[in-house]
A and B are shown apart, each in its own frame.
Chain A
């Protein structure tokens, strides 16, 4: 065609580093990981210098029979509870900071600081808050909500650890989604808001009847992003609880990580198979997400 040889060669030369790196560290591991999911590749084989051995669906049978895997998958799905809380709160905070009040830039910036905070630093700080003698218990007992004698460490308690970890995800996320919603809010015509106000709508009604419907595209994007992130949660668990107490915070990716890298009898095959299951669940949820929003959209029209 009209392509010049010189341009073509030049283009591929410039693209080569990026393409090679993507091939080696994004596409190859995806393919190889999928393959490993159908093989036996344990620490024992690895130590003898043997490669992976094809065993078909055996790993998936093992997974389905492993109560720890089922627990971890269940916990990952349960972790999705953070999504509606996070999205509603972020949208509400975005509405709160969208009015140009004196000092508002300071508040916006401060809300974003947790987003640029390393998970390891968050772990250090929040463990002090959650400690048996920490600020959370101190505040609760000062408000007479928790008798002193019944204080407990929030990360060491089977009933609370899961939600304590979730709150850290929430804390590190709401500033980020706030910024995305803030950008979306700027596209809502001020007249609409004003018209609703003149019609006597309360702030509560304006939020649900004007803001939320008009923000639907942004809400869809943010919900999708945070659903996938919630299902993939690993770092928070790793640094705060390591999956405990009593596996109450053990998530699916924690299972993948632990099977592949913790203990002596590591099993790359089983870990990869577990990863495939997580990917499938994520795909399914993304589709459900789209469907739900699509239907809601259709219902409105």
Chain B
């Protein structure tokens, strides 16, 4: 009896399985697309608004038409750039970001080299103190730091935004790990040839650890370009010096607020970061950069 019932059951399982697997794949993709919509919908709508030809007198809330603009134009990008003087803010963002990236790389590499390669009294203590900064409650440091910047006459300057942010445990730690992996024989050979430590650092260590430098540079770049609170605070009395991230919100606060221009301005701000992210996706997918923020 059991043999009789078992036999037809077998082919039944085989024919049932593929559709079941197909169903689960379809379900998986349905979920994937659902999450995708949640993640990127705001961008798509903003893009649609930015590309809309507003001379037709349309509203951004005219659904579903506003999601699929009929007449596409790049006019809004040019207009927001001209009327709002966006070039100035692009320059401010570039200046702050470039200084922060260079500063972070230099300070981190300099500090990481002895921590990785020299024996000196206090090394472990210093390393612990640097790692300690990761867990300290630094969230209200902005208060005392603005007072310090004021005393240094750096409040309202790009340097004032940059300097307090360039020394960080993440960068030092990342570079130290990279330096540890360089073979000692190379350093010994260079020392025998009479090379100074600074030469060894710039000619041997840095070229050999380029991937780590690039990673640190990219994380710092994205973090700095996007930063809102700190530059807003330091530059609150110097509205002409604010970066794009702060300017975009100012754009929104204006009376004659034109959503098409705001959308275009926002995308101008997003574009560089998006390109960097797409080019260096793998780096971000390793989940390293959290500590940078």
Q: Which of B40, B120, B167, B263 contacts A3 (CB 8 A)?
A: B120
Within 8 A of A (CB), among B205-261: 222, 225-229, 233, 236, 245-246, 248-249, 252, 259
A279 to B259, CA, bound (A): 39
What sequence of 0s and 1s flags, for each residue 106-129 of chain A, a beta carbon within 8 Å of any chain B beta carbon? 011111111111111111111111
A12 to B39, CA, bound (A): 47
CB B287 to nearest CB in A, in angstroms, measures 4
Does B222 contact A116, Cβ atoms closer than 8 Å?
yes
By a CB distance below 8 angstroms, the chain A residues around B248 are 118, 120-121, 124
Does A282 contact B273, Cβ atoms closer than 8 Å?
no
Closest to B197 in A: A10
Closest 9 CB pairs of A and B: A275-B140, A29-B144, A11-B114, A279-B137, A21-B167, A18-B111, A118-B226, A125-B42, A133-B61
By a CB distance below 8 angstroms, the chain A residues around B32 are 96-97, 104, 107
By a CB distance below 8 angstroms, the chain A residues around B246 are 120
Does A28 contact B148, Cβ atoms closer than 8 Å?
yes
The size class of the interface chain B forms with chain A is 35 or more
Closest to B113 in A: A14
Asked if A30 is an interface residue, CB under 8 A from chain B, the answer is: yes
Does A24 contact B140, Cβ atoms closer than 8 Å?
no
A107 to B144, CA, bound (A): 42
Does B270 contact A18, Cβ atoms closer than 8 Å?
no
Closest to A99 in B: B28
Asked if B91 is an interface residue, CB under 8 A from chain A, the answer is: no
Complex A-B: 6 CB contacts under 8 Å: A8-B118, A21-B107, A29-B145, A96-B31, A112-B284, A128-B42
| Stretch of A64-72, A172-180, A209-217 at the chain-chain interface | A172-180
Closest to A126 in B: B42
Closest to B38 in A: A171
By a CB distance below 8 angstroms, the chain B residues around A3 are 119-121
Does B35 contact A96, Cβ atoms closer than 8 Å?
yes
By a CB distance below 8 angstroms, the chain A residues around B139 are 232, 234, 253, 275, 278-279
By a CB distance below 8 angstroms, the chain B residues around A110 are 36, 39-40
A283 to B137, CA, bound (A): 9
Does B45 contact A125, Cβ atoms closer than 8 Å?
yes
| Stretch of B4-12, B94-102, B274-282 at the chain-chain interface | B274-282
Does B45 contact A114, Cβ atoms closer than 8 Å?
no
Most chain A CB within 10 A, of B31, B36, B126, B287, is at B287
Closest to B276 in A: A116
Does B107 contact A123, Cβ atoms closer than 8 Å?
no
By a CB distance below 8 angstroms, the chain B residues around A96 are 28, 31-32, 35
CB A197 to nearest CB in B, in angstroms, measures 12
Q: Which of B110, B113, B245 contacts A118 (CB 8 A)?
A: B245
What sequence of 0s and 1s flags, for each residue 1-31 of chain A, a beta carbon within 8 Å of any chain B beta carbon? 1110001101110110111011011111110
Asked if A207 is an interface residue, CB under 8 A from chain B, the answer is: no
A171 to B174, CA, bound (A): 28
CB A268 to nearest CB in B, in angstroms, measures 6
CB B144 to nearest CB in A, in angstroms, measures 3
Does B119 contact A268, Cβ atoms closer than 8 Å?
no
A41 to B252, CA, bound (A): 34
Does A33 contact B148, Cβ atoms closer than 8 Å?
no
By a CB distance below 8 angstroms, the chain A residues around B163 are 21, 25
Does B164 contact A25, Cβ atoms closer than 8 Å?
yes
By a CB distance below 8 angstroms, the chain B residues around A15 are 110-111, 114-115, 126
A220 to B35, CA, bound (A): 24
Does B166 contact A118, Cβ atoms closer than 8 Å?
no
A14 to B176, CA, bound (A): 13
Does A28 contact B197, Cβ atoms closer than 8 Å?
no
A110 to B129, CA, bound (A): 37
Does B36 contact A124, Cβ atoms closer than 8 Å?
no
Q: Which of A36, A113, A124, A225 contacts B249 (CB 8 A)?
A: A124
Asked if A261 is an interface residue, CB under 8 A from chain B, the answer is: yes
CB A38 to nearest CB in B, in angstroms, measures 14
Does A101 contact B25, Cβ atoms closer than 8 Å?
yes
Most chain B CB within 10 A, of A3, A99, A105, is at A3
Does A12 contact B226, Cβ atoms closer than 8 Å?
no
A283 to B49, CA, bound (A): 44
Asked if B13 is an interface residue, CB under 8 A from chain A, the answer is: no
Asked if B143 is an interface residue, CB under 8 A from chain A, the answer is: yes
Asked if A183 is an interface residue, CB under 8 A from chain B, the answer is: yes
Most chain B CB within 10 A, of A26, A123, A135, is at A26
By a CB distance below 8 angstroms, the chain B residues around A104 are 32
Q: Which of B61, B118, B121, B227 contacts A10 (CB 8 A)?
A: B118
